[in-house]
Structure 1
């Protein structure tokens, strides 16, 4: 029995090799996973041309996944540095990398990325349109966008962010809402500008079914971009955001009808008290499709620390139903992140995702925490370092101020609570003044 996409296979009752791999990783029965792929509640982004991919599932009942953004810009066009960020992401076990390059001919970097990365690869074709087509925005015709999407699909991109929901209806709603920060999505702003300058409908919306045919051919998952995501807590949950979300719900069903897998992108800035409700609304309006959030950032006043504001929001979002977190680095709103920024962003997102998985009761999520706690009780430093998200940093901190007694740390020394309790339970006396 033949099939084009993971969803088509699942609908036909087939368990693909990618489904088998994901089921094993997630401690889920393959038949259950297949059924969730068939109804769209789980996506397995796996382009037929991405040979080095280690498949991952995103969606209901699975571990929360993390995405890392990187890529070449006009001000920072160092391919070597960007590839170092790729290696950093792979080292920390992130499941997805988005190449957001927007300068020059980006396909060389993207092809190298796809060739070497076991993580799934995503792109935003709208970013690449101007460089790929060598046309200014006003000169690009609706059908030109097909060339970019098809080029990315052929190269092996596993998922693409397509801002198909910002149609003329959504734009009118956005204009009426009188936002504080307007449109902060780069791809969304470019499409908005193109629509306003040409007077035409969004080509990704107008020709949506034709774009789906390209994605189906290579089994590219569509990540329905939120062009009108809030860029400040002032704008969150407004009419513009929700009007686009309604459009995305309809586009989700249309993609599923063509056996194209779907993820739906969510808000960027949002007050803590709104997050859980937004997750519920998204899942309802978009029929349970996997939800992919940027943060959300829970305050707007922490430039330099937005990996923390993002991790707070991401943990709450994922615990409330989001399936996929896009990392945010300390450089957000300030500059292109360097290697250390990327590391800080990854670690913060890993913490948020893992905390959410514990809250959601994901199978075996607590096991490593229990192992860490047992190693702490026994004061086994090497074992603790092995379980840490960033064991190198943990070791560096410990060794920077080593204790006189290896069965403690330099904060508590011989008054370590673990040490004291272990001694008493072992039938030993606790003495300080007489100890040498």
Structure 2
């Protein structure tokens, strides 16, 4: 009689622990270089910092061992590595500002946001035992996403910073609700599309071998397009507009596997963006600063000064950079937030910047691998949407700083200074870890 041998499924937690040790080493070494070049290296402080990193790494590792043992083992080390480099770079910018007489504590504040973000990720893993529960709140998530986008427009709490009205005041602190709205929208899109994907994929005429949607099926796409245009025009935020619409189009493609949806979406956004630039002066000014950044008149007017300074900073870094702690990132406005990519490009060079971008690619790849591995349709769309949200946000930021696309007000996930971004993106990681656990565990794979 034939027997079936038991197959042991490896959780990957040992591999994760080894990667976390390397992560701690990179984070501590980056902090040590920054303090050394600032003549601020104190061994006792470095020991405390090392102990804090070890404690944080062990906390999330043990949480995964306890509540999500089959979660992806590469995701957390990749994110923590980016986070650690970002903390070191922000501290380095604090030192650069101090040398010019401006005292800031961005590094300390960002460390607190990091701890809070990791705590939220652990809470997601602990409390959300089955991601499928989120499907029950499909339309609630959609409403919450819309509320998050509209809050900055409300008088009294909404504030305008750097020309974009995307912030609200909460207890004296600035909060960017759009960062959390993107999570709500991904949940809404996943729930809506998994219920309607057959209609969206199979109905409609064929043109040149591609099936295009029927006019009545364009309703959801048109609604998201209108919302994206309103965000761009009234909140003066091209980044959130592009991020929101891009996530929806990407998830449409994952749900329907129809390239026609992507082409239709890209055409709609392009037409809307060009029209907004033609009819609204503030949108047109953003495009002018992008297309004519190096024109003397545009630069002297201040429209492209920040962008050009960032380009010059990255150019001075060259292939291998000036060295961590030995550049002049303080010459670029908002070097710790909007332009931290330029700061890293200057001090770590193209090589260091590409290494960080590779880590982002790893994060997105692990999210897509989870989407492929899980059989539940809602989980596939949710994982793919969250992964694409991180990838597209990085592209929008890096593309803006390098002048591939117009400059936006988004922050680089886990790297740039910003509490809203840190908290929201760690929640995203918590969700991805929970989904990957259910995708990789034996019960799910054999179901």
For the criterion TM > 0.5, the same-fold answer is no
Q: From the two aligned structures, give the one with the greater strand fraction.
A: 1
- TM (norm. structure 1) is 0.25
Higher relative contact order (CA 8 A, sep 6+): 2
- TM (norm. structure 2) is 0.25
Q: From the two aligned structures, give the one with the greater helix fraction.
A: 2
